[in-house]
Every structure is written in C-alpha cells, then in structure tokens.
C-alpha cells in the first residue's frame, strides 16, 4: 500500500468510527460575502480627491477577500474530505514524521505500539527515507499510524495500519 491509500485503509478498518467528511462551507461563503460587501461599499462613496485612496483600497481589499472566498469555496466543493471521528465529533489531526533509515528499528517499535510520544522524541531527518503517518483525535486517545519506506520513487508501507482506541 502506498502512502496516498492510507486514508482509504483508515476508513475501511474503523467500522464507521472514522468517516470521510468535508468541513462546513459556511466560512468560505462568509469570506466571499465580506469581499463583496467591501466592493458594494465602494460604490456608495462619492468621488473626490479625499476619497480616491479609500476607494482604491476598498477595491483592492474587497477583490482580494472575494477571490480568497471563491478559492476556499472551490476547494471545499471539489476537494476531498478529511478523516472525521464520529464518536468525538471532530476531525482527526494528521502528523507525518520523517526519519533516517538508521532509526528504522525504533520507528517500527513505536508504530507497532501506536506510541506518538516515542515518535516525537526521535530526531527527525530532512531526507525522508522512512516516514510514519499518524492521525489522532484531539479529544480522545484514538490514534492510527503506519510506517512507510521510500522505495522506487514512492512510499510503500512496511507495517500494517495500527489503530489504538
């Protein structure tokens, strides 16, 4: 299994505890509306030498905020969902660790024990020849992790998906 298949394995092994879910679209729509309000406010300001800088600023900021809102809406609508823990009613936090091959024994031991603290203690490497991916719930002790090794231009799993409730 490759590193990109980790989420699918997580959904399949959790028996409905972890599901794919999108975040609410309310915030992106509010950002878009805020940008549009700034552009509308610009229309009601009268022309004059004192107001030109204000009008230019409102157009710039309103257009930028509206553009950010459009991009956020697009990502929310067309993007993939994120792992959501149904029992805790929260999204899982993803952390990816990068290690050197010389630390393989310690990494495998920590992943098999589903021990995030042991991975936090290990010194991370700039070159990710060995990687551990961890999803955990900020509200409970739920944690899922798996170790991957870089082989032939892709990360391949070297352990099974380990889950601790």
User: pLDDT tens digit string along 85-95?
Assistant: 888 888 888 88
pTM comes to 0.70
Q: 153 in the Ramachandran plot: left (φ > 0), alpha (ψ -120 to 50) or beta?
A: left
Alpha-carbon gap, residue 139 to 62, rounded angstroms:
37
Count the neighbouring beta carbons within 10 Å of the beta carbon of residue 141.
10
User: pLDDT tens digit string along 78-116?
Assistant: 888 888 888 888 888 888 888 888 888 888 888 888 888
The structural domains of the chain, with segments of one domain joined by +, span 3-20+82-164, 26-78
Q: How far is CA 20 from the centre of its chain?
A: 13
């Amino acid at each position: 299994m490759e590193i990109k298949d980790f989420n699918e394995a997580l959904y399949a092994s959790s028996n409905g505890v972890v599901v794919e879910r999108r975040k609410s679209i309310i915030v992106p729509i509010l950002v878009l509306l805020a940008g549009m309000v700034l552009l509308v406010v610009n229309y009601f300001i009268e022309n004059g030498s004192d107001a030109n800088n204000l009008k230019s600023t409102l157009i710039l900021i309103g257009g930028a905020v509206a553009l950010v809102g459009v991009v956020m809406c697009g990502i929310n609508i067309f993007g993939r969902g994120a792992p959501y823990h149904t029992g805790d009613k929260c999204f899982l936090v993803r952390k990816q660790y990068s290690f050197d091959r010389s630390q393989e024994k310690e990494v495998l031991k920590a992943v098999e024990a589903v021990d995030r603290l042991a991975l936090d203690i290990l010194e991370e490497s700039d070159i990710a020849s060995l990687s551990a991916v961890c999803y955990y719930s900020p509200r409970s002790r739920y944690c899922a992790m798996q170790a991957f090794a870089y082989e032939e231009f892709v990360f391949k799993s070297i352990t099974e998906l380990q889950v601790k409730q």
